[in-house]
A and B are shown apart, each in its own frame.
Chain A
Amino acid sequence: MNLAEYKDVYVFAEQRNGKLQNVALELLGKARELADANNEKVVAMLLGKDVKALAPTLIEHGADKVMVVDHDLLKDYMTEPYTEAITAIIESEKPSIMLIGATTIGRDLGPRVSARNRTGLTADATKLEISDDEAHEFRMTRPAFGGNLMATILCKNNRPQMSTVRPGVMQKMAADKGRKGEVVDYKVNFDEKKIARVKLVKTVKEEKTVTDISEAKILVSGGRGVGTKDGFAKLEALAKELGGEVSSSRAMVDAGVMPADRQVGQTGKTVRPALYMACGISGAIQHLAGMEESELIVAINKDKFAPIFQVADLGIVGDLHKIVPMLTERLKTMQK
């Protein structure tokens, strides 16, 4: 493998039902930074059926070029046809770096592509950088050991250097309507016999009653100290006053008090809101892994030794059941 032949940063532009996933735009933001450090291009790979109309959005968010693979077989995500399309692009275009969102789709596609092309794949990186020494090495840092350790990974002698990144970890660029880019149609010869081994019978969407917590600007989050549904009602009242959403620690999800899609942390969602208000959350390392990038962290906890105070910008040792309703009232009177 002649490493010098491989260049540019490629991003898998995940879409579902013709809707670009936020993580695709977040990856473009990071890809832009990596590409600029090496004077390279950002290329978005857009796979699907009748999805070309999404290309301008990708350019506005940092892509120099969008490769569109439009085919009936790509209408819904399926492992084999998507792997074939990405592999065809790797073989003909020789990308240096490839970023994929760590969604259920990306975490199915990434390893399959890496094995087919015998290259390395770093899972769920939280930091991606080009080293500022002469080597210009691509360094991928990720949590390991259940979030207790961080490891920086290199993929020295194989290309592309692949990484998945969880949604909400990177920041997208503000859309720049004036950005120019190239849109290219890319044809792939599919192995229909191989593809036929798996058939999609149906996709069922389950009703989501609330907005995605990873997109909320303000989160009022509750843990064991909140205890019950009644306790969470106090948090909801505060969240409403602040224009935010309620999220939860794993303990309250396991206890059945809160639904799983509200869970923040290693096994839940990664969030980085403008305000994260941790109420009655002790701050296990697995929880911190999912929220410590929040811009402002306010913690209320009875236990002054709770680890959450080590990441909080403002810590209050006290009873959330008293403080939260008082704060809600205070905010109400301020608005008047």
Chain B
Amino acid sequence: MNIVVCIKQVPDTTEVKINPVTGTLIREGVPSIMNPDDKGGLEYALQLKDKYGAHVTVITMGLPQAEAILREALAMGVDRAILLTDRKLGGADTLATSSALAGALRTMDVDLIITGRQAIDGDTAQVGPQIAEHLDLPQVSYMEDLQYNEATKTFTIKKQLEDGYQILEMQAPCVVTALASSVQPRYMTVSGIVTAFDKEVEVWGADRINVPEEHIGKAGSPTSVFKSFPKQLKPAGQTFEVSPEEAVELIVNKLKEKHII
């Protein structure tokens, strides 16, 4: 079984702080990490490797420094790592990103493609299903468990819903998008870290993927950012430092004023 896991390097958005005086974002010193849902997906792949001897490849599209997360994946135990990086791929929205990744995946023999459900810097949850569509493969998103049935070459997948879950059966080859919350990714091992730095990270350019230029990068992106701006918080009301008795009075009066009580 050949598994490819698509991973992304993201800024750790939970570490982002807001300057309390100016109300703007402090970007400096925000660490880069492997996107949590992708790491969850990678753990599922490695479990299938443990159980069935699956061959696991990780691929990321990004800047050259994204090599760091590929090294981390190698140290966790993956067999092959690919960095898809090229100026021509820059400025891509989700559709152009998925087109490029699908192009890379098309050159490989794959039974299962795993992506994270969404990346914490964009929260779009689009790239996984879009890859599936470009490759004309079936998909199950929001995966929180998966089992492989060797005899039928099918996967049994538990899909999270808002008010419960579904069990689905899907034929290989196929695409799943994984949730981080459902699995505990393994740590890098010491020997893994050592071998990770001996292993090669393959660097691919746009010429390797055979996707028309009008489908990748900025040219392949139907959406564009018109403007971005710091979140406007509504003007603050009044804050009082008073005794509990007075606090209760203030709250009761406010609730009356707004016809809550």
Contacts and interface: CB of A to CB of B under 8 A. Distances in A.
Q: How large is the interface on B (under 10, 10 to 19, 20 to 34, 35 or more residues)?
A: 35 or more
Nearest to B253: A314
State the main secondary structure of chain B at its contact with A.
mixed
A123 B124 contact: yes
Given A115-B133, A118-B222, A149-B25, A314 B238 contact: yes
A98 B20 CA distance: 38
Contact of A112 (B133, B227, B260): B133
A161 to B, nearest CB: 9
A198 B140 contact: yes
Interface in A276-302: 285-286, 288-289, 292, 295-300
B95 to A, nearest CB: 6
B251 A313 contact: no
Contact of A307 (B20, B123, B230, B258): B20
A309 B239 contact: yes
B223 A153 contact: yes
B167 interface: yes
A336 interface: no
Interface string A120-138: 1111100000000000000
B245 A326 contact: yes
A204 B240 contact: no
A155 B222 contact: yes
Nearest to A298: B251
Interface string B154-187: 0010011111111111110010000000000000
A38 interface: no
Interface stretch (A43-51, A61-69, A317-325): A317-325
A224 interface: no
Interface string B66-103: 00000000000000000000000000011100100000
Contacts of B228: 144, 149-152
A154 interface: yes
Nearest to A76: B166
A149 B26 CA distance: 11
B130 A318 contact: no
Interface stretch (A26-34, A103-111, A180-188): A103-111
A148 B93 CA distance: 19
Given A146-B13, A331-B261, A114 B95 contact: yes
A314 B242 contact: no
B238 A315 contact: yes
Interface in A60-84: 79-80, 83
Contacts of B93: 120
Contacts of B237: 297, 312-315
Contacts, number: 259
A200 interface: yes
A330 B16 contact: no
Given A115-B134, A298-B251, A153 B242 contact: no
B170 A198 contact: yes
Interface string B105-141: 0000000000000001111111111101110001111
Contacts of A156: 222, 224
B236 interface: yes
Contact of B130 (A112, A147, A197, A242): A112
Given A116-B133, A286-B14, A326-B245, A202 B223 contact: no
A201 interface: yes
A326 B13 CA distance: 38
B51 interface: no
A285 B18 contact: yes
Given A118-B95, A145-B25, A330 B130 contact: no
Contacts of A107: 125, 141
Contacts of A199: 168-170
A257 B171 CA distance: 40
Contact of A218 (B165, B243, B245, B260): B260
A74 to B, nearest CB: 16
Given A115-B95, A121-B94, A318 B247 contact: yes
The 8 closest A-B pairs by CB, nearest first: A146-B13, A315-B239, A120-B222, A115-B133, A120-B223, A123-B124, A111-B126, A313-B237
27 contacts: A79-B140, A104-B161, A108-B129, A111-B129, A112-B132, A118-B222, A120-B93, A121-B94, A152-B226, A155-B222, A158-B222, A197-B138, A203-B161, A275-B260, A285-B18, A296-B255, A299-B239, A304-B239, A304-B241, A309-B236, A309-B239, A311-B233, A314-B240, A316-B242, A317-B239, A330-B248, A330-B252
Given A157-B222, A314-B237, A317-B242, 14 more contacts: A115-B95, A115-B134, A124-B124, A149-B228, A152-B225, A153-B223, A153-B226, A155-B222, A198-B170, A208-B163, A298-B255, A299-B239, A309-B239, A315-B236
Interface of A: 79-80, 83, 103-104, 107-108, 110-112, 114-116, 118-124, 139, 143-158, 194, 197-206, 208, 218, 242, 266, 274-275, 285-286, 288-289, 292, 295-300, 304-305, 307, 309-319, 322-323, 326-327, 330-331, 334
